[in-house]
Amino acid sequence: MSRPMEIKLSRPVPPLGGFSLGIIKLEARRILRNRRTLISTVVIPVVFFLIFGLNKAYSNLRYGNGNLSAFIMVSMALYGAVIATTSGGAMVSVERALGWSRQLRITPLSPLSYISIKMVTSLLLGLISVLAVFIAGIVTHQPSMPVEIWIITGVAVWIGSLLFTAFGLFLGYLLPSENVMQVLGFALMLFSFGGGLFIPLSQFSHSLRTAAEFTPLYGLNQLVHFPIIGGRFRLSWILNLVGWLAIFSSGAIWRFSRDTSRV
Amino acid sequence: MVGGEEIHKTAEDAHLPPAVRLQEIYKNFRHVQAIDGVTLAIKPGEVVALLGPNGAGKTSTIDIILGLSKPDSGTVSVFGIAPVQAIRRGLISAVMQNGGLLKDLTVAETVEYTSKLFVTTRPAREVMERAGITDIANRLVAKCSGGEQQRLRFAMALLSDPELIILDEPTQGMDVEGRHQFWQAIRDDASLGRTILFATHYLQEADSYADRVVLMRKGKIVADGTAVEIKSMGKRKVVRAHLSNPEISVLSAIDGVTEVVTQGEAITITCSESDLIARYLLTQTNAKNLEISSVGLEEAFLALTGESQQSSWASSNNRGILP
């Protein structure tokens, strides 16, 4: 290695801006090592399902193409998946505080690839959450619906929860890491009530119900339950989802671009 | 003094783009001029210390070389290309002061993570060995000492086999032993011909490990040269001799003399031109035991970067101080 006459300036740039499955594998290992995240994304939704979804008083009541237990299982899977993807996105807050994002900026990893890694990682965590709740459903034999609806709702919950990766990224870039987990935990609890994940919106007063229809989990919650309930499809669900996706993504992009122009 | 421009010329003569080239860089942070017109060229293979007190603009300068921040005006290139391009190609790497590590990964996983971001890298085992972290490979980063974390950062910086390594205050907070080990690793590596730029406010580090010292103060380069040159730029040498009945007024009148102190027969003269003093003492007087020493880099550093620059320069010119 006799330098400097051998300097090779024509080195290649990595494909996909440095994104690779190897990185995802290591990120997955980090997730599985984080006990707190696993409790809030796997244990709590499963426990909620076991408490609310198995009550003999109503769990076997028929509801659309399935029963009420299946309906609640999908709600809890959505709750878990949304916490998972939000946490996954909000990891940027911790990584910024640790100086890791700055460190990554002196590697070939492009900022967009970094965001993609966060998205895939949060989806992975969301998948674990959905699978955990669905497996609890299978094991307890209570939820009942056609096989294809298990699959459709599961996939819909999983993919739909990506909306909250954008929310997590937005909060992660906006807030310092000490507060971000509390803020997002509280926000998601509110959104879950507003979306009707815990209590059916029909129990709300008329004005509260109208307000709830504008909260971020409302559209997604209606959409993922549609295969079970059936009935009339409402365009407002899509509008709600797309609207909040636009708000969260532009917020995340705005904070993200500020972050990369700053040091 | 070796000016920035002169060095820049030398680098071009070598038909190689300079490892680093900064031209007329200005950077303002919230109304503070962090970098105030810096021009600097570093030749491939040089080991350069960026020396200066806190707030001198060292880290701001490094951030610009790394492409982490953009100058308000001026141009920067690394091996003739933009910093971001050089980063993408793994030509530059850096060891930051602190942070920049994930606590929930092990040492080996951190190296693996970093290696996956580059197209080609040195084998992980090799860089870990070179940085001296092989025996702590399976330790979680959270459980590593400051010195171990710093050696891990160094291992990460070696992965892409970069042409230029930048270290920002690399040994801050390390104990003597850790500092020694760290520099040993850097020194072994520098012998391979890599260009190294390190910021420090430890004068001894600059003196011991750099071929060239660039002194910064308040966003400006105030001196640039070898450690020896910087020391002489302090323009102070100390001449000591034994002499009966010295003629203080004659000595004080010699060009460049700033201080004359006598204590019995011993006389100590601080000056910029030691040759003149020595010649005078040896030819015109009965001086014995003549000794010439240069003021340490530390004092030159203080003289060049200190707030009280004026007063320390003009100290008691042409004045004999008697005990």
pLDDT in tens, B272-323: 788 888 888 899 888 889 988 876 666 667 766 664 433 333 333 333 333 3
Decide if A74 is inside a domain.
yes
Does the CA dihedral B247-B252-B253-B255 come out positive or negative?
positive
CA distance B116 to B86: 17
Token pair 């001196």: residue: B223
* Cβ-based contacts of B193 with chain A (< 8 Å): 1-4
In terms of Cα–Cα distance, which of B37, B69, B62, B34 is closest to B48? B62
* Cβ-based contacts of A12 with chain B (< 8 Å): 89, 119-120
- Radius of gyration over alpha carbons of chain B, in Å? 23
Decide if A13 is inside a domain.
no
Decide if A8 is inside a domain.
no
Q: In this model, does residue B8 exceed pLDDT 50? A: no
CA distance A179 to B181: 39
Q: How near does any CA of chain B get to the CA of A6, in Å?
A: 10
Average confidence score pLDDT of chain B: 83
Burial call B23-50: b when 16+ CB within 10 Å, e when fewer: bebebeeeeebbbbebbbbbbbbbbbbb
Mean pLDDT for A124-152 is: 96
Choose the most confident range, by mean pLDDT, from B26-30, B38-42, B219-223: B38-42
Decide if A113 is inside a domain.
yes
pLDDT recorded at residue B202: 81
- Among candidates A3, A33, A102 on the partner chain, residue whose Cβ is nearest the Cβ of B100: A102
- Mutate which of A35, A103, A121 to test chain B, going by most B C-beta atoms within 10 A? A103
- Lowest pLDDT segment from A121-135, B111-125, B235-249: B235-249
pLDDT recorded at residue B135: 95
Q: Predicted confidence band at A1 (pLDDT cuts at 50, 70, 90)? A: very low
Identify the residue with better confidence: B68 or B303.
Answer: B68
Mean pLDDT for A32-40 is: 91
* Residue A143, helix vs strand vs coil: coil
- Lowest pLDDT segment from A29-33, B25-29, B99-103, B260-264: B260-264
* Cβ-based contacts of B88 with chain A (< 8 Å): 13-14, 108
Say if B81 is an interface residue toward chain A (CB within 8 Å).
Answer: yes
What part of B 283-322 touches A (C-beta under 8 Å)? none
Q: In this model, does residue A194 exceed pLDDT 80? A: yes
Task: Look at strands B47-51 and B195-200 and give their pairing.
Answer: parallel
Mean pLDDT for A33-47 is: 93
- Among candidates B70, B109, B114 on the partner chain, residue whose Cβ is nearest the Cβ of A107: B114
CA distance A31 to B149: 22
pLDDT recorded at residue B15: 67
Q: Using the 8-state DSSP alphabet, how is residue A60 labeled?
A: T
Decide if A4 is inside a domain.
no
Write a three-state SS string for chain B. CCCHHHHHHHHHHCCCCCCEEEEEEEEEECCEEEEEEEEEEECCCCEEEEECCCCCCHHHHHHHHCCCCCCCEEEEEECCECHHHHHHCCCEEEECCCCCCCCCCEHHHHHHHHHCCCCCCCCHHHHHHHHCCHHHCCCEHHHCCHHHHHHHHHHHHHHCCCCEEEEECCCCCCCHHHHHHHHHHHHHHHCCCCEEEEEECCHHHHHHHCCEEEEEECCEEEEEECHHHHHHHCCCEEEEEECCCCCHHHHHHCCCEEEEEEECCEEEEEECCHHHHHHHHHHHCCCEEEEEEECCHHHHHHHHHCCCHHHHHCCCCCCEECC
CA distance B212 to B209: 9
Which residue range is the domain that position A255 belongs to?
18-260
pLDDT recorded at residue B309: 37
Mean pLDDT for B83-91 is: 92
Token pair 């890694």: residue: A117
Q: Count CB pairs under 8 A between chains A and B.
A: 116
Average confidence score pLDDT of chain A: 91
Decide if A117 is inside a domain.
yes
- Mutate which of B16, B63, B77, B88 to test chain A, going by most A C-beta atoms within 10 A? B88
Q: Using the 8-state DSSP alphabet, how is residue A109 labeled?
A: -
pLDDT recorded at residue B312: 32
Mean pLDDT for A38-43 is: 94
Decide if A227 is inside a domain.
yes
pLDDT recorded at residue B249: 85
Residue A105 CB contacts under 8 Å (≥ 6 apart), including other chains: A111, A260, B66, B67, B68, B87
- Mutate which of B16, B27, B117 to test chain A, going by most A C-beta atoms within 10 A? B117
Residue B7 CB contacts under 8 Å (≥ 6 apart), including other chains: B40, B41, B42, B43, B224
Q: Using the 8-state DSSP alphabet, how is residue A53 labeled?
A: S
pLDDT recorded at residue B307: 47
What part of B 204-233 touches A (C-beta under 8 Å)? none
Contact A228, A65 (CB under 8 A): yes
CB contact under 8 A, A98 and B192: no
Identify the residue with better confidence: B27 or B5.
Answer: B27
Q: From residue A245, give the alpha-carbon distance in Å to each of A134, A181, B110.
A: 26, 20, 33
Q: In this model, does residue A257 exceed pLDDT 50? A: yes
Q: Predicted confidence band at A140 (pLDDT cuts at 50, 70, 90)? A: very high
Interval B152-169: pLDDT, tens? 999 999 999 999 999 998
- Lowest pLDDT segment from A104-118, A126-140, B22-36, B186-200: B186-200
Interval A77-108: pLDDT, tens? 999 999 999 999 999 999 999 999 889 989 99
Q: Using the 8-state DSSP alphabet, how is residue A106 labeled?
A: T
Q: Predicted confidence band at B233 (pLDDT cuts at 50, 70, 90)? A: low
CB contact under 8 A, B99 and A2: no
**How many domains is chain A built from?**
1
pLDDT recorded at residue B310: 36
Identify the residue with better confidence: A43 or B292.
Answer: A43
| Chain-centroid distance, C-alpha A19 | 20
Interval A207-256: pLDDT, tens? 999 999 999 999 999 999 999 998 899 999 999 999 999 999 999 988 88
| Chain-centroid distance, C-alpha B182 | 16
CA distance A13 to A29: 27
pLDDT recorded at residue B14: 52
Decide if A1 is inside a domain.
no
- Among candidates A3, A26, A263 on the partner chain, residue whose Cβ is nearest the Cβ of B192: A3
